[in-house]
Structure 1
């Protein structure tokens, strides 16, 4: 998949990784340098002070600094070096100027405590790195990587979570090729937390099966609706308080027999933007309620709308993390206008990869990096060679 990676700064578990990367030079660790320099500086400074103002006891800071950036064994080594250096430096002074046993105990206890603190830190970092791996596995399971040109589509996506410590939330997207054409889905589960992730995984699982087997896009939409209702019934039976959860979604179908069109079903979701060298236009708003709320609809399930799609035009789908992004004055991000200006200045912006990167960067800049909700930007278009092949086959059949 042509996937644009998240460049937004992260906190939490990645701080440990970033710190270790900064403390390496040419593949070798240089974490020992700061405490070693401090050890030498304090020793030299002590020999250049008067007897009434001794600072050798400050050497207790050395294992403390090492505990923050070195490993357990490294911290233990600096604790011993600090103690030995203290003894040698203190004994080099006349007896009346020595700090003696009290500061010796201070340095010794400080070294022991620093080593223990380093062990606790290392244990916490290992746990955070493990949790990062678990979260990454969940993310790859829910939002599986998509191969380039998957299902005959050029595509790109970026997913930013509002919680910088999380790797996945309630937004979801996927592409499913099949014998009845390629289908694409983007959605947003109401709420946050693991319950939203669970609902997103359930809907994606249904989409991957129904999108492949079902001939009609409306049937795929119906299967998604039923799956959401079943998921709500299950969570309610478990006594959980998220049994009224729902999801907005945009379901797309790219029929092989008609390469110049796209089928669209909207379940309470904003209509996609069609972005091309000729400008930006929005598809008609949908007539469906979010998944899980079909009983409130007077006309039942939404209809499938087939709309023309010119070669090279890209469908841009976003979740409300983009459309509801606000600046410092409370103004919403003007997505359509901003994209239209960018395409007018450079028509190559309509390419999925460039388009997704542009929307991501502009959204984050508009809200000052403070995303209020999970944010997904998803762009798809028919691969040019697939359009040419389909039109040639369509012409051959008509002749």
Structure 2
């Protein structure tokens, strides 16, 4: 209240209430021993000094209220010792609680720093693109997982990468960081999008070989430290969508899919999926029999937004086990309000509808990323379609 803590008010009010009730009851019905509950409540919501003060007040209140009764009705030393010990234990418990909270806050800061390092903040209109993104970790306490995304402008156009590393934990985060580092360099320097894809595949293979070498000799100890169902780091792979916005053709996008769900193009004229890709997930390219994945150039209408999501959206289920119908739901929303195709509105809509569909129980990390070319041309198309509707 006004910047000051009032956590001491509830235990103090409870202490006064117990004293008042005890004073107004008969000698055969004493509740003075309930005072021992007051320091415990203070330990749960107050600081160490606040809990210590409440404990001292509880002891003093006990002495005053108990001494006011005739000798035959006094609770005496046994309950007094109980109140004293209860206050001491409550103060110690409060100190342990605060230490755990400080440690948790520190871990949360570390997780936030890691997330900002892997998923760096993107400036508005970065690379000539209007964009919006939301990331939700399936593990609320972890706050960071294996999903990744980034935009890299360069002399050969602006490139976008969205993907999901198999598994969870720090191993998945490390793999995502390795892929993003390669994308930021190759996406800037390489003229051909296919070469960028090749560099990403090589990076994933190098990462797997390094983690495999580090895992030699760990044996059963390494297996025991992994969560059930989590693959070894040397067996990880990543699904991803690599998108290029070429400078020489503002009405098209180049797309390479590595085992990723085809993105959706959302605009004033409806929703259409991109063609499915023929690439294997990153890290499994050695198994491909038809060579590297193909680059598909897709026409892009003015005002269309490219919507990319990870498994957290496509695998979200309701109570009946039904998957979230992303394309149909977005199509209905755009038909009702063309402004839904704007990146920020579109990301917020998909996030809210996904959480509502699964009841807030995400089975996997969830990333929703929307991007479209910036400029006034797209906005004119959106506005004209809005007026016609």
Normalising by structure 2, we get a TM-score of 0.92
Give the distance between the partners of 2:375 and 2:329, measured in 1 at CA. 26
Q: RMSD between aligned alpha carbons? A: 1.1
Q: Which position in structure 2 is the counterpart of 1:329?
A: 320
Post-superposition offset of 1:193: 1.2
Give the distance between the partners of 1:331 and 1:387, measured in 2 at CA. 35
Give the distance between the partners of 2:118 and 2:371, measured in 1 at CA. 19
Q: Which position in structure 2 is the counterpart of 1:170?
A: 146
Out of 64-73 and 86-95, give the one that drifted further: 86-95
Contact 1:312 1:384 in 2 (8 A): no
Q: CA 1:91 to 1:84, structure 2 compared with 1: closer, same or farther past 3 Å?
A: same
For the residue of structure 2 that corresponds to 1:187, the secondary structure is: strand
Aligned residues: 364
For the residue of structure 1 that corresponds to 2:131, the secondary structure is: strand
Give the distance between the partners of 2:270 and 2:360, measured in 1 at CA. 28
Out of 235-244 and 335-344, give the one that drifted further: 235-244
In the alignment, which of 273, 279, 296 is matched to residue 288 of structure 1?
279
Q: Which position in structure 2 is the counterpart of 1:339?
A: 330
In the alignment, which of 13, 19, 26 is matched to residue 50 of structure 1?
26
Deviations 1:243-273 (A, max 9, x none): 1111010001111121111111111111110
Give the distance between the partners of 1:380 and 1:341, measured in 2 at CA. 20
Q: Which position in structure 2 is the counterpart of 1:221?
A: 197
Q: Which position in structure 1 is the counterpart of 2:76?
A: 100
Deviations 1:67-111 (A, max 9, x none): 000000000000000001111111111111111111110000000
Give the distance between the partners of 1:91 and 1:324, measured in 2 at CA. 67
Matches within 5 A, 1:254-269: 254-269=245-260
In the alignment, which of 74, 87, 90 is matched to residue 66 of structure 2?
90
Post-superposition offset of 1:242: 2.2
Q: Which position in structure 2 is the counterpart of 1:202?
A: 178
Contact 1:152 1:386 in 2 (8 A): no
* 2:152 is the alignment partner of 1:161: no
For the residue of structure 2 that corresponds to 1:315, the secondary structure is: strand
In the alignment, which of 61, 66, 81 is matched to residue 57 of structure 2?
81
* 2:235 is the alignment partner of 1:244: yes
Give the distance between the partners of 1:102 and 1:190, measured in 2 at CA. 61
Q: CA 1:134 to 1:370, structure 2 compared with 1: closer, same or farther past 3 Å?
A: same
Please, which runs of 5 or more residues in structure 1 have no aligned partner?
1-24, 389-399
Post-superposition offset of 1:316: 0.2
Post-superposition offset of 1:164: 1.2
Post-superposition offset of 1:385: 4.2
* 2:118 is the alignment partner of 1:127: no
Q: Which position in structure 2 is the counterpart of 1:353?
A: 344
Post-superposition offset of 1:191: 1.0
* 2:374 is the alignment partner of 1:378: no
Give the distance between the partners of 1:161 and 1:126, measured in 2 at CA. 22
Give the distance between the partners of 2:46 and 2:40, measured in 1 at CA. 10
Give the distance between the partners of 1:205 and 1:363, measured in 2 at CA. 30
In the alignment, which of 112, 126, 148 is matched to residue 136 of structure 1?
112
Please, which runs of 5 or more residues in structure 2 have no aligned partner?
216-221, 223-231, 380-389
Give the distance between the partners of 1:151 and 1:68, measured in 2 at CA. 50
Normalising by structure 1, we get a TM-score of 0.90
Deviations 1:184-222 (A, max 9, x none): 000011111111111001000100111111111111111
Post-superposition offset of 1:26: 2.6
The structure 1 segments of at least 4 consecutive aligned residues displaced by more than 2 Å after TM superposition are 385-388
Deviations 1:261-319 (A, max 9, x none): 11111111111100001100001000111101111111111111111111110000000
Post-superposition offset of 1:53: 1.3
